[in-house]
């Protein structure tokens, strides 16, 4: 039985992986900076009383710590790992953690960056995306093990390099989160009654509002750290520039300019019909869910809900020592 230590294993993400790897047959031990032994007891896993000794004895050390502390933790723990063991992390950025792991872990220790594209509220890994970033020439044994394990549980596994990962995440995560958080901040500045507006929502608007709320309900420090992706600044600057440009077109009555921007964006987007089909299914599910919650649905005017249903133009680790 492989022995695994999860540093930050009493936080939300670390606890998720502790339970997951325990179910998969690992002998799991966790450690957290606030010493929450009761969390380990609740999960039925061990708690590392001596962190360095546990690092030395573990087959796998998984780091689930804040992004801005990951390199520091690697520098402290990496040199203590045993021959043939695996050092892996679950940070949302990969270039800096991979550099640190390769620098501070002994050459006979394997290195694997991982990025779960889901949060600890998810019950399972089935249907989720797990990104793996293996160190070239230093993940011969453990990469097949971890890839097979995740795939057997229904995850979609993508293997990329650290630079490519961070470039993609500058859009997939940083831009998406930035846009949703900016919408939430706008609603706050306008003192807009979000709850009251639900009576007037189309499904498209309600889905968007729910996603804004989903982001705002999570750890703001994590989302601030994600914005520190060095490649995200150019993406944010471009987004803001496009927002200003569209606003100026609207303010100056430049209807043709606005239409051209949207048409050009649509041409670049590609796969628009597939996106419409997927979003239609999501809208229909939203309508069904809403109808099931309303006992008087039979006699009410469906209004915008029916129109939007058919219209085609429409993831906290703890802080402390680490």
Name the one residue in this structure whose structure tokens are 């502790």: 18
Each domain of the chain, given as residue ranges in start order, spans 3-160, 165-310
Q: Write down the pLDDT at residue 305.
A: 33
Beta strand pairing status for 60-63 and 46-47? unpaired
CATH code 3.40.50.720 for 3-160: yes
Mean pLDDT by runs of 10 across the 322 residues of the chain is: 95 96 97 91 96 98 94 97 97 96 97 95 94 97 97 97 97 97 98 93 90 94 92 97 97 97 94 89 83 57 35 38 50
The answer to pTM > 0.85 is no
């Amino acid at each position: 039985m492989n022995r695994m230590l999860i540093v930050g294993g009493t936080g939300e993400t670390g606890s998720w992986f502790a339970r997951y790897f325990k179910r998969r047959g690992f002998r799991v031990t966790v450690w957290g900076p606030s010493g929450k032994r009761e969390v380990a007891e609740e999960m039925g896993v061990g708690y590392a009383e001596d962190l360095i000794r546990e690092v030395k004895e573990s087959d796998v050390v998984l780091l689930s710590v804040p992004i801005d502390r990951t390199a520091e933790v690697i520098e402290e723990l990496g040199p203590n790992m045993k021959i043939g063991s695996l050092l892996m992390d679950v940070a949302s950025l990969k270039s800096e953690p991979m550099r640190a792991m390769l620098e501070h872990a002994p050459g006979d220790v394997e290195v694997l960056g991982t990025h779960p594209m889901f949060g600890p509220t998810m019950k399972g890994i089935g249907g989720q995306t797990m990104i793996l970033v293996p160190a070239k020439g230093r993940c011969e044994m453990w990469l097949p093990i971890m890839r097979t394990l995740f795939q057997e549980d229904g995850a979609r596994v993508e293997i990329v390099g650290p630079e490519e990962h961070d470039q993609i995440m500058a859009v997939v995560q940083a831009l998406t989160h930035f846009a949703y958080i900016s919408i939430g901040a706008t609603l706050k500045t306008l003192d807009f009654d979000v709850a009251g507006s639900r009576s007037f929502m189309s499904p498209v608007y309600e889905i968007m509002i729910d996603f804004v709320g989903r982001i705002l309900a999570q750890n703001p420090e994590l989302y601030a750290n994600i914005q520190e992706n060095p490649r995200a600044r150019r993406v944010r600057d471009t987004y803001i520039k496009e927002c200003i440009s569209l606003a100026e077109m609207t303010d100056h009555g430049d209807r043709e300019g606005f239409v051209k921007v949207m048409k050009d964006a649509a041409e670049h987007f590609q796969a628009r019909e597939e996106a419409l089909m997927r979003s239609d299914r999501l809208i229909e599910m939203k309508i069904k869910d809403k109808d099931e919650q309303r006992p008087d649905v039979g006699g009410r005017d469906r209004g915008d809900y029916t129109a939007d249903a058919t219209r085609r133009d429409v993831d906290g680790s703890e802080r402390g020592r680490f």
